[in-house]
Structure 1
């Protein structure tokens, strides 16, 4: 059962507030909800919260035989499903348009941008490689699940540790964490997804990190994936609101600054988590 559409008074109140550069949750138009990262006991478990939007990410790895066309590279697969737990708008076993859009964007941002060095996942060329599986559970939809899922996914990859492996000839030995400290993944860069919402009324300014109501009443979304080094990975525009080149350039400049802020938050959260663990991590 889909949630009821916003009423006319709700729409008018929201639009009037946005025209005055005021949002219902007290944020400024270009203010991002501060992400909260919670780590599980197991390495690779991360829950990310953007306001009331919550996504749980989990990374697990196993050794497999690589495909013949890529004998020197490991594999990464991303599995995500939005269940009715997140919102009554979603139905079990049936992928919504939002779910398809999020899944495709995550594949582009986390996998095709070569964030993880796949060659470093090779154990024995043509025989054994690491297969990483990133699973995303959407716990609550309060708007902008894409950015929350992307952040949860990349942090889970940075948090994950794979067992140390020793190769002698054709013999592969996997060492337990008690014998040798697990190794971090080789990550080239840390991409973040930044989403902006635009409205049909030109007197309403674009807003960053839209809430669920703002997202539903918007006329279009622009998602930009980039890292703190100002490298643009993906730019995706949904909706029919036309944007001038100058507007896009300004939006990208804002996204660059927000990516730097997110990078600082992620680094600080990971350092705090490592400090609280007894297991030696190298």
Structure 2
């Protein structure tokens, strides 16, 4: 997935804010974001949070054959994993240009600076040496991945412990942690990189650029230095021309930042070592205050329950009972009926009485119509023919004749007889 470019309005806003010495997160020009270092339960596992940028490093080791040109030195290998979880622009299982840059930077910063004694990793000269592998995983990308990767890599190497090894003749025995205590690596110094972003061809300078600031910058200068003010690596990208005074100024700022970060790493390692010796919480358990897993969980408060029964009984005695209510009579609307036993219909009659009333009412209306018109009406049905004769006397006589099959001639004759 391609990176979404910034709009012109957003780009102009960022550049104008930098000219006014203002940043989106409220920092000053030379301020670093909040740095947090945590260690896992296993040795060599480290998490670093630089603002919203999160990275994790895991150090592992294995016995391998040494290189032919250096039979008495161990091997250091670095691997950078850019997961789509960190940013949608990262692609899974595909080596990008950014991952190559990060790998080369870690190699120059840690391996080429000889911060680790590789000769102490040799077990049998020319046959077996320790290979130290550092896997760095990017968990969230919010800018300045180079500094975060260098901090988490050196912190994980300082925290790592390799198994102890015993040699008897030609046999090499690797002891477990239960049999012998693991051995830490021999680290001479801790090189840490500090990044500087330049804007408008080096006119403006920012330390620890964020992800949006990296999009609008013209160039980047990375200086790797230890607390002894020894420059281990320096790299410039972006094609900008820097003056000697600018480089010296950046090196002075980097020396201050490196000493602060080194002190923070040393303090974190000391706290972890003390917690492991005392049997207290360490690793992820230390980052969970008051044994709470979720951040939104509230603390429990004690409630006094001694007088609860007395107060409850007083409340019940003082409370007033509900008012008496009478059952309301529901009068249905026209065209609606009710269902229920012992409930009268809309006319106030029972069902049987209603049917009788309807039949009598139909007969009366029929007689009234005949009296008004003054002639006889004959009504017939297809299945059972019924002949109804209505006479215009005061008292009408209704006769019903049922016949399963009648002939048309008989009906005509019956009409003539009735007329006479």
TM-score normalised per structure 1: 0.95
Task: Report if aligned partners of 1:200, 1:241 keep a CA contact under 8 Å in 2.
Answer: no
Give SS of 1:254's match.
helix
Task: Report if aligned partners of 2:162, 2:184 keep a CA contact under 8 Å in 1.
Answer: yes
Write the distance in 2 (CA, Å) between the matches of 1:238 and 1:201: 12
Give SS of 1:28's match.
coil
What whole-Å deviation, never above 9, does each CA across 1:69-118 have from its counterpart, x for those lacking one? 21111111111121212111122233222222111111111111111110
1:170 Cα shift? 2.6
Task: Report if aligned partners of 2:161, 2:182 keep a CA contact under 8 Å in 1.
Answer: yes
104-113 vs 39-48, which moves further:
104-113
Q: 1:3 to 1:69 in 2, by over 3 A?
A: closer
Write the distance in 1 (CA, Å) between the matches of 2:202 and 2:54: 31
Q: 1:122 to 1:2 in 2, by over 3 A?
A: same
Are 1:191 and 2:191 an aligned pair? yes
Write the distance in 2 (CA, Å) between the matches of 1:197 and 1:269: 28
3-12 vs 226-235, which moves further:
3-12
1:201 Cα shift? 5.8
Partner of 1:112: 112
246-255 vs 15-24, which moves further:
15-24
Are 1:254 and 2:246 an aligned pair? no
Task: Give 1:132-281 correspondences, 5 Å limit.
Answer: 132-200=132-200, 205-278=204-277
1:133 Cα shift? 0.7
Q: 1:166 to 1:202 in 2, by over 3 A?
A: closer
Partner of 1:60: 60
Write the distance in 2 (CA, Å) between the matches of 1:112 and 1:220: 24
Q: Counting strand residues as a fraction of each chain, which structure ranks higher?
A: 1
245-254 vs 161-170, which moves further:
161-170
1:200 Cα shift? 1.5
What whole-Å deviation, never above 9, does each CA across 1:157-193 have from its counterpart, x for those lacking one? 0000011122233332222212221111001110001
Partner of 2:325: none
- Structure 1: where are the runs of 5+ without partners? none
Give SS of 1:277's match.
helix
1:68 Cα shift? 2.6
56-65 vs 92-101, which moves further:
92-101
Give SS of 2:245's match.
helix
TM-score normalised per structure 2: 0.64
Q: Counting helix residues as a fraction of each chain, which structure ranks higher?
A: 2
Structure having greater relative contact order (Cα 8 Å, sep ≥ 6): 1
242-251 vs 176-185, which moves further:
176-185
Write the distance in 2 (CA, Å) between the matches of 1:162 and 1:269: 20
Task: Report if aligned partners of 1:116, 1:186 keep a CA contact under 8 Å in 2.
Answer: yes
Give SS of 1:268's match.
helix
Partner of 2:93: 93
Q: 1:202 to 1:166 in 2, by over 3 A?
A: closer
1:206 Cα shift? 0.3
Write the distance in 1 (CA, Å) between the matches of 2:181 and 2:202: 56
Task: Report if aligned partners of 2:63, 2:129 keep a CA contact under 8 Å in 1.
Answer: yes
Write the distance in 2 (CA, Å) between the matches of 1:95 and 1:123: 33
- Structure 2: where are the runs of 5+ without partners? 280-420
Greater gyration radius: 2
Write the distance in 2 (CA, Å) between the matches of 1:174 and 1:240: 50
Partner of 2:79: 79
11-20 vs 143-152, which moves further:
11-20
Partner of 1:3: 3
